[in-house]
Amino acid sequence: MFTFIVRLALLIVVFAFSTAASAQERTEDQCLALNPQITSPVEMVSCTSDLEGSKKQLNHAYGVLAKKLQGDQLSALEKAQRLWLDYRVAECRFETGGSPGGTMYDSGIISCTADMNRQRAIELQKMADNLQ
């Protein structure tokens, strides 16, 4: 229980005081300028972590790599990506802890998913670059 409380406290601190850690992330002020109708912490985290941008980055890198593969290699990539998506869900649930459905849990899932998407996009892009 103590570990969960420490994790939750750290998560709150990160969300409350963090600035954009990468080019894809936004500040709260940037998010409010883009969408003044943001009313919930989950909407804010979704914007600041740029979940949609991370999905686009991941899909783009996957597409670039997939275009360079064929046959068994392409099938292996497709299988690996499906397994990675399952892993991402499980990893983010584990990292977030807590009770599903709560604001902090949902915010943690969003942030973790965006981070993992960006990391995977970098991996896929490196693989594609190595095939040139």
**Residue numbers of the domain that contains 20:** 2-130
Number of domains in the chain: 1
pTM: 0.73
For 54-78, how does the pLDDT look when each residue is reduced to its tens digit (9 = 90+)? 999 999 999 999 999 999 999 999 9
Confidence at residue 73, expressed as pLDDT on a 0 to 100 scale = 96
Lowest-pLDDT range of 63-67, 72-76, 107-111, 116-120: 107-111
65 vs 98: CA distance, rounded Å: 36
Instruction: Give the angle 129-130-132 at the CA atoms, nearest 5°.
Output: 70
For 2-57, how does the pLDDT look when each residue is reduced to its tens digit (9 = 90+)? 444 444 444 443 433 333 334 467 888 888 888 888 888 888 888 888 888 999 99
CATH number of domain containing 93: 1.20.1270.180
Alpha-carbon distances of 81 from 57, 59, 87, 127, rounded to whole Å: 14, 11, 10, 13
Percent of the chain with pLDDT over 90: 48
Which two three-digit tokens encode residue 102? 């709560």
Residue 64's Cβ-count burial label (10 Å; 0-12, 13-18, 19+) is: middle
The number of beta carbons lying within 10 Å of the beta carbon of residue 37 is 6
Confidence at residue 29, expressed as pLDDT on a 0 to 100 scale = 84
